[in-house]
Structure 1
């Protein structure tokens, strides 16, 4: 049986595209990767059996408009752009690709941490502008304390490297409350509030949901050590951005390294872009060729497995209640 699969992007890494071709699927790609309206139009007019969702919103309206829809897979792990409740109401499983981009995101986290600590972005811009500006006030991370908010696969990989650097590492993750720490040498903390006053670097590794939206605001920044640094490779909406800007301007936070912002693409005139103590990248932590191949092939296996009657591991489904 041939299936119609919508990829909400202009292309898919060859590793995933080849799997879909081998499965005999007809694949539809978006012309505009940011157009939720195009997604809704296609799903209202085409017999879409499955969606591989990239970053554009997959709305309840789009899901409702497509009576043939049977399964959704995120190309990654964050499903904040997918109306999961609408899918659940239809009995449609929503899968993710856990671990496929963990190494790439972990390495981006480390890169932003080093760049923020040593003011690499600012010095690079100065030299490109013809000025020999030597920042000699960089922070040596050895001996400093790293706090990880969320301790899944990305956080654990970051912890392993930072322990090797000679950093103290602590983590807070409600999913691990009362359990054994998965990385030797990391101290699990009972709460975010207990961890914040002890860290020199705070790194975020949580999904966006009602519990994590605006998780960090003025009160949390004030609770941190003056001169601490923040790294975010999770989701921009986890942070109250005006409070972050204020903390960076006042010196309460020394620096920040951000791969994700509350509004993307970053709007023209954003105060974040004007701050010399902020390192910015355009949400590409999980966008190396290796990670894209892993996510594409994982998403393809997710949808083909369901459509062909051989579902993948149910632990990769974010709404397992549909199986009941």
Structure 2
């Protein structure tokens, strides 16, 4: 049975939500709460314990098992994006709470950031910019042209496929691996699908990471794999910082084995002021904003709002957008008492 007019309490784990999503919640008559300080580890639990929250739209704040247990009314958690490493999915599953994502909403934004980091790293643009601002006419003339160099993509979902299309247009051969992929899309037939990460690592002049953070990908690019990368190659990470062994990466950059790296995400965020990454001029850094253009933020907010409203009003959840679909068999009855 549908309950389209039921007022719901929605908690956004950030100080704000893009208007595209906030307006949908307002139009549905929801009481929308916001987390004033996502860096306060106890703030989320306090709100969940005090308010009858029906759904959480998750940004970057960590959602623990204790947070979930504090709110008996909670029915669904939807990630504003696709990475759920900040959510205790196992605890949610034990409580029968679906954890959903908004796939594809920020794919174009992340793909473009990937190329921004790659161009900047390959041509040493940030270093030259800093030199000019220091009144030094330092002309880096050792930049790498990308045409003809092989791009390796670890992960070939929405983002990886968009990155591949640009690479092919630039004249770069592309190889990829993805455990969930049996064949590449027809329009990307020039992309070679390889069976293992190691084969992609060894084949690539530029290696770009597009995987979620989970038990299989944590530390994926460890010292052994980084040592397998071609001399003078480039590593780009717009996935999750914990996928890369940062100390091994720094060693490879300092030794000259790697030409450069571009990182939109780090193992510890915000990046500590004493991070050794800051002392390596061949690393291009950005503060985890690959999916944070206004267009992407609007699409993620809209998608998250639509997901929680469909779930709460009608008990409808797309299994393809749920990271713990085993809870869905009992969700409808529980969501619509």
Please tell me the TM-score bracket, short chain as reference. over 0.9
Does 2:304 align with 1:299? yes
SS in 2 for 1:286: coil
Does 2:294 align with 1:289? yes
Partner of 1:220: 225
SS in 1 for 2:234: strand
Shift of 1:62: 0.2
Partner of 1:91: 96
Q: Deviations over 1:225-249 (max 9, x none)?
A: 1111000000000011111111111
TM-score scaled by length of structure 1: 0.98
- Aligned counterpart in structure 1 of residue 203 of structure 2, from 198, 201, 210: 198
CA contact (8 A) 1:301 1:312 kept: no
SS in 2 for 1:40: helix
- Structure 2 distance, partners of 1:312, 1:48, is 18
Partner of 1:61: 66
Partner of 2:236: 231
Shift of 1:310: 4.7
Taking the TM superposition and a 5 Å limit, the aligned residue runs for 1:3-152 are: 3-152=8-157
Shift of 1:184: 1.7
CA contact (8 A) 2:154 2:200 kept: no
Shift of 1:36: 2.7
SS in 2 for 1:174: coil
Partner of 2:183: 180
Q: CA RMSD in A?
A: 0.8
- Structure 1 distance, partners of 2:78, 2:197, is 31
Partner of 1:2: 7
Taking the TM superposition and a 5 Å limit, the aligned residue runs for 1:245-264 are: 245-264=250-269
SS in 1 for 2:239: coil
- Structure 2 distance, partners of 1:195, 1:57, is 33
Gapped regions of structure 1 (runs ≥ 5):
none
- Structure 2 distance, partners of 1:319, 1:218, is 32
Does 2:323 align with 1:318? yes
Q: Any runs of at least 4 consecutive aligned residues in structure 1 with deviations exceeding 6 A, and if so which?
A: none
Q: Deviations over 1:295-323 (max 9, x none)?
A: 00000011111110152422111110001
Shift of 1:164: 0.3
Shift of 1:252: 1.1
- Structure 2 distance, partners of 1:33, 1:218, is 33
- Aligned counterpart in structure 2 of residue 276 of structure 1, from 251, 272, 281: 281
CA contact (8 A) 1:36 1:58 kept: no
TM-score scaled by length of structure 2: 0.94
Q: How many residues align?
A: 322
Shift of 1:224: 1.0
- Structure 2 distance, partners of 1:92, 1:225, is 45
SS in 1 for 2:314: coil
Query: Structure 1 residues 28-37 or 41-50, which shifts more?
Result: 28-37
Shift of 1:274: 1.1
- Aligned counterpart in structure 2 of residue 168 of structure 1, from 173, 180, 183: 173
- Structure 2 distance, partners of 1:33, 1:172, is 35
- Structure 2 distance, partners of 1:265, 1:11, is 19
- Structure 1 distance, partners of 2:78, 2:257, is 41
- Structure 2 distance, partners of 1:289, 1:36, is 27
- Structure 2 distance, partners of 1:125, 1:30, is 37
CA contact (8 A) 2:14 2:34 kept: yes
SS in 2 for 1:221: helix
